[in-house]
Chain A
Amino acid sequence: DAGVIQSPRHEVTEMGQEVTLRCKPISGHDYLFWYRQTMMRGLELLIYFNNNVPIDDSGMPEDRFSAKMPNASFSTLKIQPSEPRDSAVYFCASSDKTESNEQFFGPGTRLTVL
């Protein structure tokens, strides 16, 4: 298996632009998670899905952020409009139903908003 795939790996955009981050979870995994990592706040859970349904989005910073999972093999995290404070590394992770709850992380997308 290729692991969790994220694209793009790097994104540089200007304030006000729409940004879309993409994630392909490991095949067969039922859970998908979006995290944000910054120096100031560390690793934060933004939202997670179970069987394509959003379960908890309480970590989503504000209405400018939205996430979708149209099918079991694809998810997007969208920021519209983007702001410089959104600059961070965004990680996607997936896990299956096993008891250990281990999450497998993708390589991340480094977002820079100018």
Chain B
Amino acid sequence: AQSVSQHNHHVILSEAASLELGCNYSYGGTVNLFWYVQYPGQHLQLLLKYFSGDPLVKGIKGFEAEFIKSKFSFNLRKPSVQWSDTAEYFCAVIGSARQLTFGSGTQLTVLP
């Protein structure tokens, strides 16, 4: 069975700080990887996804993630966060089936 682990439960940063959120997955086969964001009171929105090709994936709003197969990781990065990035971030993986398995989420708070 596939699983996803997000190491940071709550991250607090000041505006303009750099962000890196950790995500590790466990699954032996080919995976599709996703980062979703959930703004307060809203539904999940896709930030970026990886399913093949260049392991460095660029998403919306200046976010990017790097798939490192040897480390089973898909960390999310942003060089300079803004107050509007305050949200919960979920890493997710799909293996052979269509089932999307989510990590427990990381709450990001950006202080103005």
The size bracket of the interface on B is: 20 to 34
Q: Is A71 an interface residue (CB 8 A)?
A: no
Q: Is A17 an interface residue (CB 8 A)?
A: no
Q: With contacts A101-B51, A102-B49 known, is A107 near B42, CB below 8 A?
A: yes
Indicate the member of B49, B99, B100 with the most A CB atoms within 10 Å: B100
For A82, the chain B residues whose CB sits under 8 A away are none
Q: Chain B at the A interface: mostly helix, strand, loop or mixed? A: strand
Q: With contacts A99-B51, A99-B52 known, is A107 near B43, CB below 8 A?
A: yes
Indicate the member of A43, A50, A95, A108 with the most B CB atoms within 10 Å: A43
Q: Check A45–B44 contact: CB distance below 8 A.
A: no
Q: Is B61 an interface residue (CB 8 A)?
A: no
Q: Is B98 an interface residue (CB 8 A)?
A: yes
Chain B, 94-112, contact with A by CB distance < 8 Å: what is the 0/1 string?
1001111111110000000
For B94, the chain A residues whose CB sits under 8 A away are 101
For B8, the chain A residues whose CB sits under 8 A away are none
Chain A, 74-86, contact with B by CB distance < 8 Å: what is the 0/1 string?
0000000000000
11 new A-B contacts at CB < 8 Å, known A104-B46, A106-B43, A108-B43 = A33-B98, A43-B90, A48-B98, A48-B99, A55-B98, A56-B99, A95-B98, A101-B98, A101-B100, A105-B36, A107-B42
